[in-house]
Structure 1
Amino acid sequence: MEIGSILLAFGYGDSDPKKIGSGHINETFLLEDKNGKKSVLQKINTKVFEKPELLMSNLVLVLDHLSNSDYPYNLMEIIPTMSGGQYIQDSKGLWRMLSYMKGKEASVRPANLKKAEVVAEGYGNFLKAINTLDPKRLHDTIKGFHGPEKRFQQFVDSTEIAAEDKLEVSSSLIDHALAFSQLTLQYSKCCDILPPRITHGDTKASNILVDKSGEKVSAVIDLDTVMSGFIMNDFGDMVRSMCNTGAEDDNKLEAIQLDLENFKGISTGFLRAFSSEITQEELDSLLIGVKSILYEQFLRFLTDFLQGDVYYTVDYPDQNLNRAKVHLKLLLDFQKREELFIDILNECLGQLDE
């Protein structure tokens, strides 16, 4: 179906869709009807979400649960088709329409400790509210989404089919990927003792909407990867995405490191919101989550480069290679300064007890 037919099916035939968003996976369009009402049209990538109907089932359940709980933020609404359906599915994917959420995206990298704290507290409050729902009620929208074991095997497989020029240019990265493989075992052992939780799955700052001041959360968005998981993954992904001192694909690697101030803000905000729910085992796992997520994302970008950029959207040929280099630099930085991160986390925990 052409996008015009999709719009007609949702009753927006007179709208001019404008592409928005910075995500790597789905396509998102902003619509405005003749009365000025805004909505969001999304095309779900079915190469990533192979069973998008399960994604929609999860979304309905999550929104219903949060709307009937003491949840402090605004929630999106699913806008039905003219025939009353929740989505339209064609050969190119699944199309859905959601209400437009007012607010601005938090900066990809929060400008200071306070702004990082606000974002992390938002995620902490989301996790606190959604974890009154049984994780078993949610489908896995992407099997094995987080966890370096699966990503390591995909990486190994990609080295066996990659073109020679790609193997040559990434040889140093491949060596590092193999050298850090012990993290897969450390992660697996950690998972064995952690309670199953519902997690957000994509805790970057841009999935938090804030008010004009940037100091108050209005909504948590992008709920497509909300499913059973471990708290350490959401914490680790906040650190990965919000503490990078450069761009995700920065080619000036000498300037890339993890921002300790933002790490402190993340730790303070998240623990303030979620400390009443977190177990000791989960606390002990948080920094393992940071290492694992950095390694996992390094593997994912490197694998996609070796496979010919089949997963992530790229704007130039070596973008995934540069993304992999950045994440390796972040992982090496964390390894070098791990004691500092331990001290900061303990300091934040101590402040909660005062």
Structure 2
Amino acid sequence: MIRDKFAVPATAVETLGTGLINQTFLVSGERGEKYVLQRLHSIFPPEVNLDMEVVTVRLQDRGLVTPRLIRTVSGHLWLEMADGIWRLMTYIPGISVDRVDSAERAYEAGRLLGRFHMALSDLDYRFLGARGGIHETPRHLRNLELALDRHRDHAAYHRVRPVAEEILSAASKLTPLPALAERVVHGDPKISNFIFDAASGEGLCLVDLDTLNRMALPLELGDALRSWCNPAGEDSDTTDFSLGFFRAALTGYASEAGRWISPAEAASLVDATMTIMIELAARFCADALNESYFAWDPVRFPSRSEHNRVRAEGQLRAWEACRKMETQLSEVSREVFGLTPR
């Protein structure tokens, strides 16, 4: 397929990364060149590739490193096959990580996301493949309640239900977020979607651009911070929230976008981070019963259900840690962005 459809003489194909949605492969060519091949999950319409093309052209024009789509021999940005939508992209040398391992890494992630947002801040474009309702927290909580109702006979129900009840209880304690203007965002800024220089640790680029969208900035940054500030990563139920990583991440972001982010956006970051934690916990917990959405690791876990239960509990424990240090986190945010104390 790769040779015939993309005119790339592939000699080897191997699995790449630990993404939860798309299937990703590293393709090696005859002369040592490398490419990234992806099969998109069915939740994504093919038009996400049109969005990706517009955004990556802009990023490249603004001097940012970015993967670019490689057209098929017939000139298309993607390939429609019987088993789904496939695309080929340029490969960006570097490393990706599944959890932040140092304050320096958190700083670089924040700095790179700030550059990304600034480069797209004046993009006048209507996203064609954007999915609505990504961070509609009430909807995700309702989906969890539906999963509990529909799967009472699930083998793991007795293990999942107590976690679900904790999540629903925690949701009632969340502070409502203010209505804010929508910004152009990546949409899934977890740490594994960043590429870093293997030697220097410098943040190079963001990948997995299927979630490009417009949304309130605190939701984007909250999603980033819940990932970056959890030293244990997503696949553990003994998670925490690092105040040091939080400070470093915000400092990195402010170095690029500190004058762009509004005081109202900056003031909402801690509340948004806790909201995203509970929202993601609800999504993982629902899939512990539905077993239909998130990918799972059969080497480390006995079932998709158990992997998602652990993920859900991990987000819940991170929320608890975040809530205990909420005052300190708010003080850091005010300090970094120069906000007046409440």
Q: TM-score, normalised by structure 1?
A: 0.88
Task: Please give the alpha-carbon distance, in whole angstroms, between the structure 2 residues aligned to 1:129 and 1:208.
Answer: 16
Q: Tell whether the 8 Å contact from 1:238 to 1:266 is kept in structure 2 after alignment.
A: no
Give ranges in structure 1 of 5+ residues lacking alignment. none
Task: Please give the alpha-carbon distance, in whole angstroms, between the structure 2 residues aligned to 1:118 and 1:102.
Answer: 17
Which residue does the alignment assign to 1:173? 163
1:43 aligns with 2:34: no
SS at match of 1:137: coil
Instruction: Give the CA deviation at 1:13.
Output: 5.3
Match among 120, 127, 144 for residue 138 of structure 1: 127
Which residue does the alignment assign to 1:207? 193
1:123 aligns with 2:113: yes
Task: Please give the alpha-carbon distance, in whole angstroms, between the structure 2 residues aligned to 1:66 and 1:111.
Answer: 27
Q: CA RMSD in A?
A: 1.9
Instruction: Give the CA deviation at 1:88.
Output: 0.8
Judged with a 3 Å threshold, the aligned counterparts in structure 2 of structure 1 residues 100 and 14 are, in CA distance, closer, same or farther, namely closer
Instruction: Give the CA deviation at 1:79.
Output: 0.8
Give ranges in structure 2 of 5+ residues lacking alignment. none
Match among 311, 314, 317 for residue 293 of structure 2: 311
Give per-residue Cα distances to partners, 1:300-329, cap 9 Å, x unaligned.
10010011x210111231110011111110
Which residue does the alignment assign to 1:91? 82
Q: Tell whether the 8 Å contact from 1:138 to 1:227 is kept in structure 2 after alignment.
A: yes
Instruction: Give the CA deviation at 1:209.
Output: 1.7
Task: Please give the alpha-carbon distance, in whole angstroms, between the structure 2 residues aligned to 1:185 and 1:217.
Answer: 32
Task: Please give the alpha-carbon distance, in whole angstroms, between the structure 1 residues aligned to 2:86 and 2:49.
Answer: 11
Instruction: Give the CA deviation at 1:263.
Output: 0.7
Give per-residue Cα distances to partners, 1:144-168, cap 9 Å, x unaligned.
1123122112112111111334332
Give per-residue Cα distances to partners, 1:186-224, cap 9 Å, x unaligned.
13xx2x2x0111111111222222223344222222211
Which residue does the alignment assign to 2:181? 195
Task: Please give the alpha-carbon distance, in whole angstroms, between the structure 2 residues aligned to 1:142 and 1:15.
Answer: 36
Instruction: Give the CA deviation at 1:289.
Output: 1.3
Which residue does the alignment assign to 1:66? 59
1:288 aligns with 2:271: yes
Q: Tell whether the 8 Å contact from 2:101 to 2:231 is kept in structure 1 after alignment.
A: no
Task: Please give the alpha-carbon distance, in whole angstroms, between the structure 1 residues aligned to 2:294 and 2:24.
Answer: 15
SS at match of 2:27: strand
Task: Please give the alpha-carbon distance, in whole angstroms, between the structure 2 residues aligned to 1:21 and 1:79.
Answer: 20
Match among 256, 276, 279 for residue 273 of structure 1: 256
Give per-residue Cα distances to partners, 1:82-137, cap 9 Å, x unaligned.
122111112321000001112222x3333222221111110011011111113x51
Match among 109, 114, 124 for residue 99 of structure 2: 109
Task: Please give the alpha-carbon distance, in whole angstroms, between the structure 2 residues aligned to 1:126 and 1:236.
Answer: 16
Q: Which runs of 4+ in 1 moved over 6 A?
A: none
1:337 aligns with 2:314: no
Task: Please give the alpha-carbon distance, in whole angstroms, between the structure 2 residues aligned to 1:43 and 1:281.
Answer: 39
Task: Please give the alpha-carbon distance, in whole angstroms, between the structure 2 residues aligned to 1:22 and 1:202.
Answer: 14
Instruction: Give the residue type in structure 1 aligned to 2:104.
Output: K
Task: Please give the alpha-carbon distance, in whole angstroms, between the structure 2 residues aligned to 1:115 and 1:13.
Answer: 36
Which residue does the alignment assign to 1:155? 144
Q: Tell whether the 8 Å contact from 1:19 to 1:30 is kept in structure 2 after alignment.
A: yes
The aligned length equals: 332
Instruction: Give the CA deviation at 1:227.
Output: 0.8
Q: Tell whether the 8 Å contact from 1:291 to 1:334 is kept in structure 2 after alignment.
A: yes
Match among 312, 319, 341 for residue 324 of structure 1: 312
Task: Please give the alpha-carbon distance, in whole angstroms, between the structure 2 residues aligned to 1:168 and 1:208.
Answer: 37
1:54 aligns with 2:47: yes
Give per-residue Cα distances to partners, 1:318-354, cap 9 Å, x unaligned.
1100111111101111112211111222232349xxx
Judged with a 3 Å threshold, the aligned counterparts in structure 2 of structure 1 residues 14 and 108 are, in CA distance, closer, same or farther, namely closer
Task: Please give the alpha-carbon distance, in whole angstroms, between the structure 2 residues aligned to 1:88 and 1:185.
Answer: 44
Instruction: Give the CA deviation at 1:14.
Output: 4.4
Judged with a 3 Å threshold, the aligned counterparts in structure 2 of structure 1 residues 91 and 153 are, in CA distance, closer, same or farther, namely farther
SS at match of 1:229: strand
Q: Tell whether the 8 Å contact from 1:89 to 1:95 is kept in structure 2 after alignment.
A: yes
